[in-house]
Amino acid sequence: MSFIEVSDLRKSYGGRAVVDGVSFTVEEGEIFGILGPNGAGKTTTVECVEGLRVPDAGRVRVTGLDPVAQHEATRRVLGAQLQESELQAKLTVREALELYSAFYPNPLDWRPLAERLGLTAKLTTRFAKLSGGQKQRLFIALALVGNPRAVVLDELTTGLDPRARRDTWELIEDVRTGGVTVLLVTHFMEEAQRLCDRIAVIDKGRVAALDTPAGLIRRSAGATVISFTPSGPLDDGDLNALPALASVEHRDGRITLSGTDETVNAVLTLLARNHITAHQLRVHDATLDDAFLDLTKSDTNNNTQEAAA
């Protein structure tokens, strides 16, 4: 049995389907990522996993437990860091950590956790006086202090500076090494590529793709990208006829092509045949960013009722 099971999950707001048949499983000890554009249904999906929202249809189980009907039992095995949270303004960091520790039968020692997240110097600071990044680190600590078997992290490192972000990534890797299953919602492609064993890309309330980061990149329309500034004009017809070409872009005299190794070899042959020099030539493999853009389509009229709800 998978640690987390989501099957044909559906949730609508105001008659509009925000989650429309989402299915995936998370295996024990896995870091499972969820990516998607704003309003795609990511947060609603994980809130159903946490038991914070009641699905309209479908099935959700956490270690076999129904997060809604068996909410208290689920809370003992599943920690959560929400996308948006608040605490009482006068509560200090120490008081918050002690309070949350008291909710669980076998909590972690919050002191090393606070030290790892850079909160030791802020233990006597009231919540209202914390910066956005410090609040985020506190909520991560509160999600982990109950010593959960699994944790949901929604926009884990939003508001953190690059150093704090990387420190937090190391903490999550250590958490997984300790046997905790992680369900991670993120907008940071570098974060997903580094941390996640598998990723579900959700777009318009549906799973557009589910694979390892490397697998998603391989499925990208252009697995290899070549860019250069030509010393002379190139015929668009010749460029569009290149084998395995996925896309071609002209910007400020620079040409960027995506395709495969066959495309790269063909464009180099084309340049040589036309006696054109490729200035500032760059060839690199596609990234998770490229795969994400291929798999999701921008919708400027997308009404993000998920966020409003």
Average pLDDT over residues 12-26: 95
Q: Is the pLDDT confidence value at 298 over 80?
A: no
Q: What is the pLDDT of residue 145?
A: 93
Would you list the domain boundaries of the chain? 2-215, 221-285
Model confidence at 165: pLDDT above 90: no
- In the numeric block, the tokens 């291929």 are attached to 294
Neighbouring residues of 256: CB distance < 8 A, sequence distance ≥ 6: 225, 226, 227, 248, 249
Give the three-state DSSP class for 110: helix
Tell me, rounded to whole angstroms, the distance of Cα 92 from its chain centroid: 30
8 Å CB contact between 171 and 98: no
- The answer to whether 148 and 74 have CB atoms below 8 angstroms apart is no
Confidence of residue 228 (pLDDT cuts 50, 70, 90): very high
Q: Does domain 221-285 have CATH number 3.30.70.100?
A: yes
User: Both tokens of residue 188?
Assistant: 């940071």
CA distance linking residue 206 with residue 204, whole number of Å: 6
Q: Which residue has the higher pLDDT, 81 or 231?
A: 231
Q: pTM of this prediction?
A: 0.78
Closest-CA residue to 155 (of 295, 255, 23, 38): 38
pLDDT (0 to 100) of residue 267: 95
Neighbour tally for 80: CB within 10 Å: 23
| Nearest alpha-carbon partner for 98 in 274, 132, 156, 87 | 87
Residue 277 has pLDDT above 60, yes or no: yes
Which of the four pLDDT bands, split at 50, 70 and 90, describes residue 301?
very low
The DSSP secondary structure of 81-99, one letter per residue, reads E-SS----TT-BHHHHHHH
Contact 26, 60 (CB under 8 A): no
User: What is the percentage of the chain residues whose pLDDT exceeds 90?
Assistant: 66
Is there a shared CATH topology between the 2-215 domain and the 221-285 domain? Answer: no
287: confidence class by pLDDT, cuts 50, 70, 90:
confident
Antiparallel, parallel or unpaired: β 181-185 and 278-285: unpaired
The per-residue pLDDT for 82 is 83
Question: In this predicted structure, what is the pLDDT of residue 42?
Answer: 94
Tokens of 96: 């918050």
**Predicted pLDDT at 84:** 76
Q: Residue 234: which of 252, 263, 254 has the closest Cα?
A: 254
Q: State the pLDDT at residue 221.
A: 59
In this predicted structure, the answer to whether residue 308 has a pLDDT above a threshold of 60 is no
Tell me which architecture the domain covering 2-215 has in CATH.
3-Layer(aba) Sandwich (3.40)
Residue 233 has pLDDT above 80, yes or no: yes
Q: Give Cα 79 distance to the centre of its chain.
A: 17
Reply yes or no on whether the pLDDT at 309 is more than 50: no
State how far the Cα of 255 lies from the Cα of 248, in Å rounded to an integer. Answer: 7
Is it the case that residue 259 has pLDDT exceeding 60? yes
pLDDT for residue 109 is more than 90? yes
What's the average model confidence in pLDDT over 124-140? 91
- For residue 222, what pLDDT band results from cuts at 50, 70 and 90? low
pLDDT at 175 over 80: yes
CB 117 within 8 A of CB 168: yes
What does pLDDT average to over the chain?
89
pLDDT at 305: 42
